[in-house]
Amino acid sequence: MNAAVQPELKATYERRFAGVSDYRTQVWAVLTRDFFQRFVPEQGVVLDLGCGWGEFVNQIRAWRKFGMDLNPSSRDHLDGSVLFLHQDCSTRWALADNSLDTIFTSNFFEHLPDKESLRATFVEAFRCLKPGGRIICLGPNIKFLSGSYWDFWDHYLPLTELSLKERIELTGFRVERCVGRFLPYTMTTGRHWPAWVVLVYLRFPILWRWFGKQFLVIAVKP
């Protein structure tokens, strides 16, 4: 993926998210505060990989925050506390070895063009994380989605929690948590549930078995 596709990336984000941006921010406020913050040290350094419009990285608490995306318009949506890395994630990252405490990524890997791009991305993630640092991966689980996975033009790489777990372990990470069913599939279509419903959903994992269609994989660099 290169600079030639960047105008289309920008147009895709606008088409897909402009009308639901405020709602997504509200949902991610709950997700960051009541679930993901426990995995992100407040005195640490975090990278949001495929940060989009910053719904996660703008709201997570950390000493230093980076957002990486190939979409140039991401910069316009990031909080002033976030340093933007405008680059292809499968090339060498503009970050030092052992410089990150946490890498977070949500609904991003499926947009990579092939498995080699994903492999190269994990190599960079492993290089940049400190020993003991974590990578948190959230994304659509192809085995629970069937044809609906392909409703988005820019979906290329179908993954399950187990295929991702295997790739992560081959890179050298140790998987701490591997959940096949976590969040529902998408927040861009369908009913917009109030924030308190999201909180109840997080607190009762039995609901994940019924509605979860995204995986959650968390791994640590030994």
State how far the Cα of 57 lies from the Cα of 67, in Å rounded to an integer. Answer: 7
The pLDDT score that the predictor gives to residue 2 is 56
Q: Looking at per-residue confidence, does 164 or 152 come out higher?
A: 164
| Helix, strand, or coil (residue 65) | strand
Spatial neighbors of 1 by CB under 8 A, at least 6 apart, are 70, 88, 90, 112, 113, 117
Bridging pattern class, strands 100-106 and 129-140: parallel
Tokens 């960051």, residue located: 32
**pLDDT over 60 (residue 82):** yes
**pLDDT over 80 (residue 85):** yes
**pLDDT over 90 (residue 55):** yes
Q: pLDDT tens across 154-170, in order?
A: 999 999 999 999 999 99
Count the residues in the chain: 222
The pLDDT score that the predictor gives to residue 193 is 85
**pLDDT over 60 (residue 100):** yes
Share of the chain above pLDDT 90, in %: 81
State how far the Cα of 59 lies from the Cα of 81, in Å rounded to an integer. Answer: 10
The pLDDT score that the predictor gives to residue 189 is 62
The pLDDT score that the predictor gives to residue 208 is 97
pLDDT bracket for residue 147 (50, 70, 90): confident
**pLDDT over 90 (residue 195):** no
Rg, C-alpha atoms of the chain = 16
The pLDDT score that the predictor gives to residue 187 is 61
Look over the chain and give the mean of its residue pLDDT values, rounded to a whole number: 92
**pLDDT over 60 (residue 18):** no
Report the range of poorest mean pLDDT among 1-5, 55-59, 129-133: 1-5
Domains in the chain (CATH in brackets) are 3-220 (3.40.50.150)
**pLDDT over 70 (residue 70):** yes
For 12-38, what is the mean pLDDT?
83
For 60-77, what is the mean pLDDT?
96
Spatial neighbors of 115 by CB under 8 A, at least 6 apart, are 157, 167
* Entry pTM: 0.92
Provide the CB-side half-sphere exposure for 28 (13 A, CA).
Answer: 23
Detail the DSSP E strand segments found in the chain: 45-49, 64-69, 82-86, 100-106, 129-140, 174-179, 214-220
State how far the Cα of 32 lies from the Cα of 102, in Å rounded to an integer. Answer: 14
